[in-house]
Amino acid sequence: MMQADLIVIGAGPAGAAAALAASEAGLLVVLLDEDASPGGQVYRAPPAGLSVAPDTRGADERAGDALREAVAASAVVWKGGARVWSISGAFRVDAVTAAGSESFTAPRLVAATGAHERLVPFPGWTTPGVIGLAAATILLKSQGMVPGRRTVVAGCGPLLAAVAAKIVAGGGAVAAIIDLSGPGDWLKALPAMASRPDLLRQGLGWALKLGAACVPVLFRHTVTAVSGGEACEAVTVAPVDAEGRPTGGRSRVFAADALAIGHGLVPGSEIPKLLRAEHRFEPEAGGWAPVRDAFGRCSVAGLYTVGDGAAVAGAEPARLSGRLAGLAAAQDAGRLPAHVSAREAGEARAALDKALVFAGAINRLMRARPAMVEEIAKDTVICRCEDVRRGEIEAAISAGAREINQLKHFTRCGMGPCQGRMCGETAATLLARHVGSREAAGYWTGRPPLRPVPLADLLGEFDYGDIPVPNPAPL
Amino acid sequence: MSTPFDLAIVGGGIHGATVALFCARAGMRTVLFERGSLCREASGVNAGTLTMQMTRVALIPYALQAHAMWASAREWLGHDAGVVVCDGLSLAFTQREVELLSFRAGKRREAGAPIDLVTATAARAVEPGLGEGVLLAAHCKVDGYANAYLTGQAYHAALIEAGVDLREETPVSGVEREEGGFAVQTAAGPVRAKRLVLAGGVWLEEMMAWLGITLPIKVLVNQLAVTERVAPVMRTVVGIASGLLSLKQYPHGTVVIGGGWQGRGDRQRGGVELVPESLIGNMRLACHAIPALRHARLARAWAGLEAETADALPAAGPIPGIPDAYICGSVHSGYTSGPYIARLLAQRILGQEPADPLFPIDRLLASPAASPTPSAAAGRATDEQPQHV
Amino acid sequence: MTALRIADGFRRGAAVTFDVDGVAVVGHRGETLAAALLAAGFARLRHSPRDFSPRGAYCFMGACQECVVQVGGVLRQSCQVPVEDGLVVGLKGSL
């Protein structure tokens, strides 16, 4: 069991910044991540063996390299390839690593586990070849692959253009971009987006590239079906209103062997939930978010939450919120004079406020559209793990399920290995229609392991005699 | 003032729900209060095992009756909680466990459980998934399991059909005795009833205090784990001599690993924390018994609270000194035996002679200077009970 | 190289060969098993347990569990497994 001053889980921009700030203040920090290298989803390092030519490296690659260099040069204890499976009180973290099972303990813990994609089901969304927008960026950036020979890119937000442009640049074909938002929505976002000229320029570059490649863009459209048995063959799209509800307008079909689709991001706050921190439903943060102060302090003493895992806002706000939590952890540990912390925090806070202007505009484009969920057909699968359809969810609600965990008991929706990450938003939105609000519908109770873990990895080799079997119950 | 109910029940687990069901069917106007959702505490998060081999000897006759009830739930409850009746094996891997198993199986057999001691070869014929090293096994043909998480759905429908006034999400803050019955205090005001049943599981201690009675209830924090769906690795319920393992694979493929290894928690906060070493110990035991399990993944682990009286026998019967008030709970292996014991209490409330004796709590109230409630952490007084590890 | 692997701008690791249900498949060091399978034409990795509908990798980041296959007999997320020479892969998920 390694004793540290601070444990940080998640080494994206938020977690790395928290670890670095606390480490600079003199705390012994352990930084854990599932990936072999720091960087998170946004700055994911190319895996060992695959190298990216210098001329194709963009701003994200450079930021990722800088992050990795900073972690390597710091006193932070880096634990890559660590699958955290248990977090118990105040705070003990158990992880499966290449070295077997390892335990860490510290009086403080930063949860920086990022977001996952919001997905609104439609007929055929379980067909192989249909992947997330974020998945497409991982394939493109860290695997050097396009998702298919011919890809439809659909959903909302700036990832649409980013993914499509990278596919085109990589020699792939983009059949169409299907954007839930309309040109007017983008125009409305422009002033706020101008607060980050670099990102705006990047976006315009994507648009030009896509224009040059003659990729059709269908605004205010959504995917209504994917056909194909063993793999995606065609994608049907139709026009929608501002809330994502089909208008009944003409649908179109694109032949494609891949569909990359995403409807925004949801905070992955599994750790605060597991530790029973108080949560609040914050649509502007992407969903249920841990209640936190300006430094990321949760309702559980010693627990901090930062980055997209706390509230979806993107890479730069994540980095700044991480730095704030790292400073706060050092100060709470009595290792940073309050005036130093106040000055540094003030700077980070001002930068964060500025960065959140851009993030707010993007979040409005990527906001949840409950009307889309209402339109889901009765026989469409909601829970991919357990093949639970909307009709079964509605039947369970009629049978008396009033809360999301009860709905899970009634239907097995969310009980499969993804632990409800894929279906949770949809199921809760459907339930909320009947019980009045997302607050009334609640959220999945957090339980270990954070993700399924092979028993073979967890249990290792052992002798029967070494199992500490407790004494028997009374006869 | 509105007409009082014939019966008010506080606590919507198996015990409260079963009493409500039979009393309502017999014509009583019945109201059931549950602060959360029906059967979502111990009755919904336990391992679902319906075994004789972890049941206390004194409860074997009850458990046998209850097993028959579970197996025929469609008939009497009208709904099913995914009950599967199958063989059960309890294993001994060491000489000490052989002695333990022989003794404990013998006692249960004397109490009526059809348990036979068999060789490893015979056990493997019953359960081909067994690993090496079995020295002796106890085989019982009356075993099986339910899908505990479906219990609430099954009872919910049954109670509604029986005409019970089911009030979920309705915490009760107290009960007052008054002329002709009781006033049950809720946020929406008092609800009056001629009779009262307290069926609050680990919260019975607080409920009894409403009536001025001290009844210490220990809280066990039982850890459980479930794998994701896997191809069939076993077909029976498997335990070990000490009772610290319960293991079975559901028809849909998940394997539930239980056995009463202790986590941390209390009745205020619930089962808040799992102890990694205990979880790993429990899962190693499971993989030792059924080696193919090693290829599966742990999908989820949790802890549920179990109530236990000072002598680990049920609290089921009239509340001494308070006419028309009853208690029902703290049934060791309560999921297995609960429906039958609650039905016996319903018979008593309905003025019938229960088919088997109840478990009145007079025995637990003998000393007026009752000691403070032992907590889960401190309540491991005797060698006979599971210890923290 | 296949049509999905981007030719320009990436230098791939050494070729590795692994077994997929008895078929020899070539990937490159540095690729995840999920990506290498996709590039080799294996979009469908398993079937869902209840409807038996075909499933492939969805999130590629370890969350969705759709890409679970048997690796050396153990269920693993193929998006989290680096390809290696001699891996024995069964395109069979949880059930």
Indicate the helix (H) or strand (E) that contains A180. none
Measure in Å the smallest separation between the Cα of B255 and chain A Cα atoms.
12
DSSP code for C79: G
Nearest to A458 by CA among A103, A26, A69, A61: A103
What is the structure's pLDDT at A54?
A: 67
Give the residue, A99 or B341, on which the prediction is more confident: B341
Nearest to A234 by CA among A247, A220, A223, A246: A223
Q: Residue A378: what are its φ and ψ, rounded to 5°?
A: -60, -35
Sign of the alpha-carbon torsion through B59, B61, B66, B68: positive
Rounded distance, CA A325 to CA B288, Å? 44
A133-142 and A159-169 are packed helices; what angle lies between their axes, rounded to 10 degrees?
A: 40
Q: What is the pLDDT along chain A (475 residues), one digit of tens a residue?
A: 999 999 999 999 999 999 999 999 999 999 999 999 999 999 988 777 777 766 667 788 899 999 999 999 999 999 999 999 999 988 999 999 988 889 999 999 999 999 999 999 999 999 999 999 999 999 998 899 999 999 999 999 999 999 999 999 999 999 999 999 999 999 999 999 888 888 888 888 999 989 999 999 999 999 999 999 899 999 999 999 999 999 999 999 999 999 999 999 999 999 999 999 999 999 999 999 999 999 999 999 999 999 999 999 999 999 999 999 999 999 999 998 888 888 999 999 999 999 999 999 999 999 999 999 999 999 999 999 999 999 999 999 999 999 999 999 999 999 999 999 999 999 999 999 999 999 999 999 999 999 999 999 999 999 999 999 999 988 9
Q: What are the strands of the beta sheet with C88-90, ordered from one edge?
A: C23-28, C15-20, C88-90, C68-71, C74-77
Nearest to A116 by CA among A365, A288, A356: A288
DSSP structure string for B215-242: ---EEEEEEEEEE---S---SSEEEETT
Q: Does B295 touch chain A (CB under 8 A)?
A: yes
Give the closest of A127, A134, A148 to C59, CB-based: A134
Q: CB C73 to CB B253 under 8 A?
A: no
Q: CB C60 to CB A130 under 8 A?
A: no
Rounded distance, CA B327 to CA B324, Å? 10
Q: CB B252 to CB C50 under 8 A?
A: yes
The 10 Å Cβ neighbour count of residue A54 is 8
What is the structure's pLDDT at A48?
A: 74
Which residue does chain C place closest to B228, by CA atoms?
A: C94
pLDDT of B389 strictly over 70? no
Contacts of B275 in chain A (CB under 8 A): 88
What is the structure's pLDDT at A55?
A: 63
Joined tokens for residue B205: 């201690």
| A459, B287 contact by CB (below 8 A) | yes
**What's the Rg (C-alpha) of chain A?**
23
* Separate counts of helices (H) and strands (E) for chain A: 15, 25
pLDDT of C6 strictly over 70? yes
Rounded distance, CA B186 to CA B188, Å? 5
Nearest to A306 by CA among A3, A69, A9, A60: A9
| A398: amino acid identity, one letter | S
What is the structure's pLDDT at B374?
A: 41
Give the closest of B156, B332, B386 to A470, CB-based: B386
What is the structure's pLDDT at C41?
A: 95
DSSP code for A308: G
- CB-based burial label for C7 (10 Å; 0-12, 13-18, 19+): exposed
Rounded distance, CA B270 to CA A37, Å? 38
What is the structure's pLDDT at B333?
A: 84
pLDDT of B10 strictly over 60? yes
Tell me the percentage of chain B whose pLDDT exceeds 90.
90
Q: Residue C68: what are its φ and ψ, rounded to 5°?
A: -65, 130
pLDDT of B373 strictly over 90? no
What is the structure's pLDDT at A100?
A: 86
Indicate which of C11, C51, C58, C71 best probes the interface with A, i.e. most A CBs within 10 Å of its own CB.
C58
Rounded distance, CA A410 to CA B149, Å? 7
For chain C, the residues whose C-beta falls within 8 A of a C-beta of chain B are: 49-50, 65, 70, 73-75, 94-95
Give the closest of A49, A128, A452 to C55, CB-based: A128
Q: CB C43 to CB A128 under 8 A?
A: yes
Rounded distance, CA B11 to CA A145, Å? 57
A59-73 and A13-24 are packed helices; what angle lies between their axes, rounded to 10 degrees?
A: 30
Place of tokens 């107290």: B174
- Tens digits of residue pLDDT in B186-225: 999 999 999 999 999 999 999 999 999 999 999 999 999 9
What is the structure's pLDDT at B376?
A: 37
| A409, A282 contact by CB (below 8 A) | no
- Tens digits of residue pLDDT in C13-62: 999 999 999 999 999 999 999 999 999 999 999 999 999 999 999 999 99
Joined tokens for residue B320: 């001494």
| A417, A452 contact by CB (below 8 A) | yes
Give the residue, B378 or A173, on which the prediction is more confident: A173
- Residue B369 — pLDDT band, cuts 50, 70, 90? very low
Place of tokens 């990102």: A199
Q: Cis bond leading into A370, ω under 30°? A: no
What is the structure's pLDDT at A52?
A: 72
**What's the Rg (C-alpha) of chain C?**
13
| A166, A235 contact by CB (below 8 A) | no
DSSP structure string for B18-45: HHHHHHHHTT--EEEE-SSSTT-SHHHH
Nearest to A444 by CA among A457, A461, A427, A460: A427
| A317, A323 contact by CB (below 8 A) | no
DSSP code for A371: H
Rounded distance, CA A327 to CA A6, Å? 11
For the segment B346-375, the average pLDDT, to the nearest whole number, is: 81
- Tens digits of residue pLDDT in B247-257: 999 999 999 99
Q: CB A452 to CB B298 under 8 A?
A: yes
Give the closest of C35, C65, C94 to A143, CB-based: C35
Q: Residue C25: what are its φ and ψ, rounded to 5°?
A: -125, 140
| B303, B274 contact by CB (below 8 A) | yes
Cα–Cα distances (Å) from B117 to B88, B120, B141, B359, C47, in that order, read: 12, 10, 12, 31, 42
Q: Look at residue C47 and give its three-state secondary structure.
A: strand
Q: Residue A30: what are its φ and ψ, rounded to 5°?
A: -105, 130
Which residue does chain B place closest to C48, by CA atoms?
A: B229
| B263, B221 contact by CB (below 8 A) | yes
The 10 Å Cβ neighbour count of residue A225 is 18
**What's the Rg (C-alpha) of chain B?**
21
Q: Does B116 touch chain A (CB under 8 A)?
A: no
Q: Does A1 touch chain B (CB under 8 A)?
A: no
Contacts of B228 in chain C (CB under 8 A): 65, 75, 94
Give the residue, A258 or B389, on which the prediction is more confident: A258
Contacts of B40 in chain A (CB under 8 A): 405-406, 409
Which residue does chain B place closest to C72, by CA atoms?
A: B295
Contacts of B229 in chain C (CB under 8 A): 49, 94-95
Measure in Å the smallest separation between the Cα of C58 and chain A Cα atoms.
4
CA–centroid distance for B80 within its chain: 17
Cα–Cα distances (Å) from B126 to A154, B71, B234, B241, B306, in that order, read: 54, 20, 10, 17, 31
Joined tokens for residue A246: 């089909």
Rounded distance, CA B143 to CA B51, Å? 5
Q: CB B229 to CB C95 under 8 A?
A: yes
Rounded distance, CA A232 to CA A147, Å? 11
Q: Does A317 touch chain B (CB under 8 A)?
A: no
Joined tokens for residue A364: 């409005």
Where would I find the beta strands (DSSP E) of A89-243?
A: 92-97, 100-105, 108-111, 115-117, 130-132, 150-155, 173-179, 217-219, 221-227, 234-239
For the segment B99-103, the average pLDDT, to the nearest whole number, is: 97
Place of tokens 């004789």: B52
Rounded distance, CA B143 to CA A292, Å? 49
Joined tokens for residue A344: 């540094």
* Separate counts of helices (H) and strands (E) for chain C: 1, 8
Rounded distance, CA B64 to CA A308, Å? 53
Q: CB A448 to CB B107 under 8 A?
A: no
The 10 Å Cβ neighbour count of residue B229 is 25
Joined tokens for residue B7: 């019966």
Rounded distance, CA C38 to CA A131, Å? 12
Contacts of C60 in chain A (CB under 8 A): 131-132, 134-135, 138-139
Rounded distance, CA B245 to CA B259, Å? 4
| B221, B264 contact by CB (below 8 A) | yes
